[in-house]
């Protein structure tokens, strides 16, 4: 696989890391960065992540073989509207959004229907850091990338994006759009909500300074993701609110049940929860 010209709209952690990985693999020719903030694009150019940049999206996508949209979910519709009339006929359009139904909806709204060369995607990779400065070529090594091809998606476009992510080191799997959003609400979106909420709750306590001073490793490990980009997670909450609310409600019921057991001193019930959780965690390949 070789992409002659790759345009990345939103050269941050994900877009920058993909650019680095493909360049390292010698699988790309020219990499064009695009976005509204020239200072960030200039930084990406200085770091050697991109070859040139454009702030005008119609110019950026001209003659591109692949266009990767890596902006927050709330900005997807605006980006699609800006490039819809300027994408080359054979150009493959893909994205990295964490909630696929909202992305597909925006594409259908702008284009009228999903183009045959549109391949929705979502790399299950990242760190609590953001920005192109945090990007690195190995980010996708041994990580999964989920593609959610549509009925309209052309096989050739699907294959190209699959090969692109595989070249970056990822394990690529396909999933239906709604199922993707349900799974990610449980495994990614809910944990981030819990981490943000816990830190916010403790930060508003009167003795917060002392609490954080004595925070142990478990607290740091659990809340690390609360350092993630707030704008990105704000957009995810709104874009995937249906599945996310279902998971929040389920978790709230389970947490309330555990609180009742603690209040009543029901040691067996408490132990049952902890043992089930330990068994489930130990039996999963997560590390």
The strands making up 121-124's β-sheet, listed across from edge to edge, are: 121-124, 144-147, 171-174
Q: What is the per-residue pLDDT for 286?
A: 59
Q: What is the per-residue pLDDT for 214?
A: 74
pLDDT in tens, 21-32: 999 999 999 999
Distance CA 43, CA 277 (A): 44
This prediction has a pTM of 0.89
Distance CA 110, CA 69 (A): 15
Q: What is the per-residue pLDDT for 287?
A: 53
Q: The domain 179-283 belongs to what CATH superfamily?
A: 6-phosphogluconate dehydrogenase C-terminal like domain (1.10.3660.10)
Which stretches in the chain have pLDDT values below 70? 285-287
Q: What is the per-residue pLDDT for 213?
A: 80
Q: Where does 3-175 sit in CATH, by number?
A: 3.40.50.720
70, 8 contact by CB (below 8 A): yes
Give the contacts of 77 (CB within 8 A, at least 6 positions apart).
Answer: 106, 109, 110
Q: What is the per-residue pLDDT for 285?
A: 59
* The pairing of beta strand 52-54 with beta strand 171-174: unpaired
pLDDT in tens, 70-127: 999 999 999 999 999 999 999 999 999 999 999 999 999 999 999 999 999 999 987 7
Task: Break the chain into its structural domains and give their ranges.
Answer: 3-175, 179-283
Q: What is the per-residue pLDDT for 196?
A: 95
Check if 3-175 and 179-283 are the same fold.
Answer: no
Q: Which three-class secondary structure state does DSSP give residue 123?
A: strand
């Amino acid at each position: 696989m070789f992409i002659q010209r790759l345009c990345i709209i939103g050269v941050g952690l994900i877009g920058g890391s993909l650019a680095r990985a493909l360049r390292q693999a010698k699988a790309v020719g020219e990499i064009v960065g695009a976005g509204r903030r020239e200072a960030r694009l200039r930084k990406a150019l200085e770091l050697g992540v991109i070859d040139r940049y454009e702030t005008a999206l119609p110019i950026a996508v001209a003659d591109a073989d692949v266009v990767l949209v890596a902006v927050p979910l709330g900005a997807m519709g605006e980006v699609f509207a800006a490039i819809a009339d300027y994408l080359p006929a054979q150009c493959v359009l893909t994205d990295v959004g964490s909630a696929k139904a909202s992305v597909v909806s925006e594409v259908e709204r702008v284009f009228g229907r999903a183009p045959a060369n549109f391949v929705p995607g979502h790399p299950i990779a990242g760190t609590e850091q953001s920005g192109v400065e945090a990007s690195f070529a190995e980010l996708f090594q041994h990580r999964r990338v989920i593609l959610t091809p549509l009925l309209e998606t052309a096989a050739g476009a699907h294959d190209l994006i699959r090969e692109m992510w595989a070249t970056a080191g990822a394990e690529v799997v396909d999933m239906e759009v709604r199922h993707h959003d349900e799974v990610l609400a449980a495994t990614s979106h809910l944990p981030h909500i819990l981490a943000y909420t816990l830190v916010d709750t403790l930060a508003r306590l009167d003795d917060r300074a002392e609490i954080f001073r004595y925070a142990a490793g478990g607290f740091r490990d659990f809340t690390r993701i609360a350092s993630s980009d707030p704008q990105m997670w704000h957009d995810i909450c709104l874009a995937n609110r249906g599945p996310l609310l279902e998971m929040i409600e389920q978790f709230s019921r389970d947490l309330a049940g555990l609180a009742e057991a603690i209040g009543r001193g029901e040691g067996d019930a408490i132990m049952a929860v902890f043992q089930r959780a330990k068994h489930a965690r130990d039996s999963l390949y997560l590390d």
